[in-house]
Chains A and B, each alone.
Chain A
Amino acid sequence: MATAVQPVVERENYLNSNYGIKSWLLTTDHKRIALLYLMSITAMFWLGGFFAMLIRLELLTPAGDLVTSDTYNKLFTMHGITMIFFFLIPSVPAVIGNFVIPLMIGAKDLAFPRLNLASWYIYMLGAGLALWGFLLGGVDTGWTFYTPFSTSYSNTHVVTVAVGVFIVGFSSIFTGLNFIVTIHRMRAPGLTWNRLPLFCWSNYAASLIMVLGTPVVAITLLLVAFERLFHIGVFNPQLGGDPLLFQHLFWFYSHPAVYIMILPGMGVISEVVTCYSRKRAFGYEFIALASIAIAVLGFLVWAHHMFVAGISMYSALVFSLLTYFVAIPSAVKVFNWTATMYKGSVRFDTPMLYAWGFIGLFTMGGLTGVFLASLGVDVHVTDTYFVVAHFHYVMVGGMVLAYLAGLHFWWPKITGRMYPEPPAKLSALLVFVGFNLTFFPQFILGYMGMPRRYHAYPPEFQVLNVLSTAGASVLAIGYILPMIYFLWSLRYGEDAGPNPWNAVGLEWMTPSPPPTHNFDETPVVTWEAYDYEHQPQEEITIGH
């Protein structure tokens, strides 16, 4: 006897509550805004990746034979600007943070939903202006815009792109402001600070930096624009301006900016490691306070980018010492995450694989930061590929892996669908292997003396460069696969249910996808964070 096919009545959720482009472009729902950001930053990621591909292709041979010098200089500049300002900084906060934080604290939305939407529009305006600058011919100052090259010598579209970055900074500031106020004022009853998920602690710390640091780079870039347009003299040595003043102002933001990038990623790792070990975080208070310590100490170390720039030896000494201090909280976190797995009950799902990748690669990246903090070694390796390798280890091996971990972990909550595990695990492996193959040789290149931002290089550096480019092609495949299977899962993925990972957390207590108003009734929290002890054990059967 044939069984009648019952039509599935789809429950109302934030995705189907309203249709039409206006309902998306004028939304104030934090979940929809998160998806708007997801689309924007994914597009920028591929643009930045395209620039990277051209760079690595050029570096296959010692001669500068693929593109002209000027083009190459524009490529690395635009790669840096796109990846840092338009991908990494917004990635976890604006996509995952926007979506998950109100859910995690039992709120209906962020404190300022309209400001949240405005943040996205400001991002699009800044990105649009920067892209316009790229299309007009690009910019070749390096993402660091050092003066007087950027103010008096470069013939490229510096002002357009600098203003684009200036504008997108406000997107970051308003997101950070929103998070701080939300976490202070909108927590559900019973959710005290020491029951707050570590993802919230990390984003809170990163938001402090966003709010206090970004305005400084904003005024710095504005001054670069003024210098180019009106010749005010502040950075022009011929008028008595000091190029080192620019560097101090620039790095005062740009060093804390790296903590803006990594802290939210660390927050993701805390959530993932606890869930897939089925245990509360080892040393919860220490992880939480370490986040705040990183934010505070991060503001005190900026001149470690300037050890050979012409600062006094005594300044250098102070900044070197403080840089060692800021390394310690990160180490504390790594040890605590590892200890969380001790006597846990460990699963090997994709988010956990990315988390392990993060812990290993961030450790390597962080340790090489310790090399750079050491004055005697820094003199030799600064401005070489050693630094390039170091920051790619922490930003890609660390941050991008954390972002991918978070996307996989919360994908069921965001879309209501499970991604397919086998290709996901394969991608994680490809990313890990491809990444190391790309960037580990660069440590050696750096110590051998290959400077960064070099279009052509002496032939003895070729072998390592070829290895690096080969690795990059593996890495690229590792990135392309998720694009494919995430999209596939939207149509064909298994229904996720509210809590496919059997995780502890308020966001897992609403349906997947959540309704627009998140919770039918405001929850009252009576349990500690990651209270797996009292969470009923259930077999995870979905997707396996």
Chain B
Amino acid sequence: MWKNFPLFPERASSLAGQVDGLYFFLVAVSAFFTILIFVTIFIFAIKYRREAHPNPSHIEGSLPLELTWTLIPLGICMIFFAWGSLIYFQEGRAPKGAMEIYAVGKQWMWKFEHETGQREINTLHVPLGRDVKMIMSSQDVIHSFYVPAFRIKQDVLPGRYTTTWFHPTKIGTYHLFCAEYCGTQHSGMIGEVVVMEPAAYQAWLVGGGAMASLSANGQQLFLQLGCATCHRTDTQGRGPMLAGLYGKQVQLDDGRSLVADENYIRESILNPGAKVVSGFKPIMPTYQGQVSEESLAALVQYIKSLSQPQPGEPAGNRASLQ
């Protein structure tokens, strides 16, 4: 809009235009009703002022009017509700095949790790035109990952993964803010998202020299931490097999069942006693305090990779963390 006095941030994601559309509709309807009330009050105040209208008419009410001004606003609200919900549901479900980036928020910085193992602090490089899914957790307090240009925001919690996704549509550098108050340097926890041409992004990715991918790191940790001792590739292990686990239905020993997602894998590493798989003893030791958020991300990514279809196999219908 007006370059010198902008009323909204740049639109740099596929959903930004939709959010703006709903916003402007809300602005228009609100402006209409606001002006309606202001003008009506103004007219009544002048037209019926004491000097001009000394004898009031004693009207009690009007049922038709009450119904009108109850049902019409309700109807308009339902439009806002439906439109807003549609956008929200799109925002809440990352498309399949999205590129995954792990983010760790900590007082007072953002740490990112790409699937290829590339790490960044406070600056996030992403390619234009690809779906990008953020899998995020916090090392300490609640933070919030907010990119105004993409119109997305998601709180980042300790003890749990939350996700958000976006599809960048414009080259540029955009603000990344922490939007949940997190202490002294909350306003300093600012970063940038750099959207690059896909070729430039590829170049940047390999620019730091060869490095192990996130899941390769995870595999190394899996061996180092002794996981492979019990979680074997055959059925002889004291722990359940992990191949094909991600996205599958799991039966627990207390009768509950759930779908194995990132949070389930994470919880099973940090607090194995909370959800024990049916048919197995609760003997897995906890790794709480022994693995950092980054290591957790690597382990989770490795275990997820055990469910990836081999070349030639059709991709299964995987439920992933929404």
**Taking the complex as a whole, does A directly touch B, i.e. does some CB pair lie under 8 Å apart?**
yes
Q: A313-B89, A344-B48 are in contact. List 18 more A-B contacts (CB 8 A).
A: A69-B187, A237-B157, A238-B158, A285-B61, A308-B144, A309-B155, A316-B88, A320-B81, A324-B78, A336-B61, A338-B40, A341-B41, A343-B59, A348-B45, A371-B30, A374-B81, A377-B19, A452-B181
Given contacts A310-B160, A328-B73, contact A447 B23 (CB under 8 A): yes
Q: Is the CB of B157 within 8 A of A243?
A: yes
Is B119 close to A, CB under 8 A? no
| A282-B61 contact given A344-B48, A375-B84, CB 8 Å threshold | yes
* Cβ-defined contact, A376 with B59, below 8 A: no
Closest beta carbon of chain A to B231's beta carbon, Å: 23
28 pairs, A vs B, C-beta closer than 8 Å = A69-B185, A73-B184, A142-B181, A148-B140, A237-B158, A237-B160, A243-B157, A278-B56, A279-B56, A279-B58, A280-B58, A307-B88, A316-B88, A320-B84, A331-B69, A336-B61, A342-B44, A343-B56, A344-B48, A344-B53, A374-B84, A376-B87, A379-B152, A448-B9, A449-B146, A451-B177, A463-B5, A537-B54
Tell me which residues from 250 to 292 in chain A have a Cβ below 8 Å from any Cβ of chain B.
Answer: 277-280, 282-286
Cα–Cα distance between A309 and B188 once the two chains are bound (Å): 21
The 8 Å CB contact of B155, one of A308, A332, A532, is A308
Pick the most buried of B74, B152, B181: most chain A CB atoms within 10 A of its CB: B181
Binary per-residue interface labels of chain B (43-85) against chain A in the complex, 1 for a CB within 8 Å, 0 otherwise: 0110011100111111111100110011001100110110111
Bound complex: CA A320 to CA B87 (Å): 13
The reply to whether B26 and A345 contact each other, CB–CB distance below 8 Å, is no
Residues on A with beta carbons closer than 8 Å to the beta carbon of B80? 324, 370, 373-374
Closest to A279 in B: B56
Binds B, one of A28-36, A358-366, A414-422: A358-366
Q: How far is the CB of A394 from chain B (nearest CB, A)?
A: 14
A residues contacting B by CB (< 8 A) are: 64, 69-70, 73, 140, 142, 146, 148-149, 152-154, 237-238, 240, 242-244, 277-280, 282-286, 307-310, 313, 316-317, 320-321, 324-325, 327-328, 331-332, 334-336, 338-339, 341-348, 356, 359-360, 363-364, 367-368, 370-371, 373-380, 382-384, 444, 447-449, 451-458, 463, 532-533, 537
Q: Which of B31-39, B122-130, B196-204, B209-217 contacts A (4 or more CB under 8 A)?
A: B31-39
Q: Is the CB of B142 within 8 A of A376?
A: no
Across the interface, which residues of B come within 8 angstroms of A327, CB to CB?
73, 77
Check B142 against A149 for contact (C-beta < 8 Å): yes
Residues from chain B with a CB closer than 8 A to the CB of A345 are: 48-50, 53-56
In the complex, A237 Cα to B184 Cα: how many Å?
21
Which of B26, B48, B157, B178 is the one whose CB lies under 8 Å from A377? Answer: B26
Alpha-carbon distance between A360 and B31 when the two chains are bound, in angstroms: 12
B92 at interface by CB-CB < 8 Å: yes
Taking a contact as CB atoms closer than 8 A, the residue among B29, B44, B65, B91 that contacts A376 in the complex is B91
Cα distance A140–B184 in the bound complex, in angstroms: 9
Is B69 a contact partner of A64 (Cβ separation < 8 A)?
no
Find out whether the CB atom of A153 lies under 8 angstroms from the CB atom of B157: no
Complex CA gap A312/B93 in Å reads: 11
- Which listed residue (B8, B41, B73, B181) contacts A356, Cβ 8 A? B41
Within 8 A of A (CB), among B255-282: 271, 274
List the 4 closest A-B pairs by CB distance, nearest first: A449-B148, A376-B87, A374-B84, A375-B88
A148: nearest chain-B partner, CB-CB: B141
Q: How far is the CB of A382 from chain B (nearest CB, A)?
A: 7
**Given A363-B37, A377-B22, is A149 in contact with B182 using a C-beta cutoff of 8 Å?**
yes
Q: Knowing A286-B61, A346-B49, A375-B84 touch, does A69 contact B184 (C-beta < 8 A)?
A: yes
Residues in B neighbouring A370, C-beta threshold 8 A? 26, 30, 77, 80
In whole Å, how far is A121's beta carbon from the nearest beta carbon of chain B?
33
- Known contacts A338-B44, A345-B48, A370-B26, A359 near B58 by CB under 8 Å: no
Cβ B37 vs Cβ A338 within 8 A: yes
Residue B248 at the chain A interface, CB threshold 8 Å: no
B5, B40, B50, B182 — most chain A CB neighbours (10 Å) = B50
Central interface residue in B65, B73, B89, by most chain A CB within 10 Å: B73
Interface residues of chain B, those whose CB is within 8 Å of chain A, are 5-9, 18-19, 22-23, 26, 29-30, 33-34, 37-38, 40-41, 44-45, 48-50, 53-62, 65-66, 69-70, 73-74, 77-78, 80-81, 83-89, 91-92, 107, 140-142, 144, 146, 148-149, 151-155, 157-160, 162, 175, 177-188, 190, 271, 274, 288, 322
Given contacts A313-B89, A346-B53, contact A324 B38 (CB under 8 A): no
B142 touches A243 (CB 8 A): yes
- Measured in the bound complex, the distance between the Cα atoms of B274 and A26 in whole Å is 57
Contacts of B151 in A (CB 8 A): 379-380
B53, B88, B91: most-surrounded residue (chain A CB, <10 A): B88
Report the nearest B residue to A73, measured CB to CB.
B184
Q: Which of B8, B60, B65, B184 makes the CB contact (< 8 A) with A448?
A: B8
Residues of B within 8 A of A336 (CB): 61, 66
Is there an interface contact between B154 and A457, defined as CB atoms closer than 8 Å?
A: no
Closest Cβ–Cβ distance, residue B95 to chain A (whole Å): 15
Contact B37 A371 (CB under 8 A): no
- Most chain B CB within 10 A, of A328, A359, A379, A382, is at A379
Nearest Cβ on chain B to A531's Cβ, whole angstroms: 9
Q: Are A360 and B19 in contact (CB under 8 A)?
A: no
Contact yes or no, B175 A458, CB < 8 A:
yes
**Complex Cα distance A397/B238, Å?**
65
Cβ A332 vs Cβ B190 within 8 A: no
Q: Give Cα A152–Cα B182 distance, bound, in whole angstroms.
A: 12
Chain B positions within 8 Å of A307 at CB level: 88
Taking a contact as CB atoms closer than 8 A, the residue among A359, A376, A452 that contacts B83 in the complex is A376
Greatest chain B CB density within 10 A among A373, A380, A454 is at: A380
Q: Does the CB pair B153–A382 fall under 8 Å?
A: yes
Give every chain B residue within 8 A of A458 (Cβ-Cβ).
Answer: 175, 190
Residue of B nearest to A335 (CB): B69
**Contact flag A532-B19 (CB < 8 Å), given A73-B184, A313-B322:** no
- With A377-B23, A377-B84, A449-B9 in contact, do A146 and B180 touch (Cβ < 8 Å)? yes
A335: chain B residues within 8 A (beta carbon)? 65, 69
> In the complex the two chains form, is B184's CB within 8 Å of A449's CB?
no
Q: A344-B53, A448-B6, A448-B9 are in contact. Are A374 and B48 (CB under 8 A)?
A: no
In the complex, are the beta carbons of A341 and B48 less than 8 A apart?
Answer: yes
CB contact between A374 and one of B57, B83, B184 (< 8 Å): that residue: B83
Chain B contacts of A140 at CB under 8 A?
A: 183-184
Q: Are A342 and B59 in contact (CB under 8 A)?
A: yes
Task: Enumerate chain B residues within 8 angstroms of A331, measured Cβ to Cβ.
Answer: 69-70, 73
Which chain B residue lies CB-closest to A455?
B187
How far, in Å, is B23 (CB) from chain A's closest CB?
Answer: 5
Cβ contact within 8 Å between A70 and B184 = yes
A142-B181, A278-B56, A313-B88 as given contacts; A324 in contact with B77, CB under 8 Å: yes
Name the residue among A284, A286, A344, A376 with the largest chain B CB count within 10 angstroms.
Answer: A376
Using CB atoms, name the residue of chain B closest to A444.
B7
- Give complex CA distance A533, B148 in Å: 56
Minimal beta-carbon separation of B178 from chain A (angstroms): 7
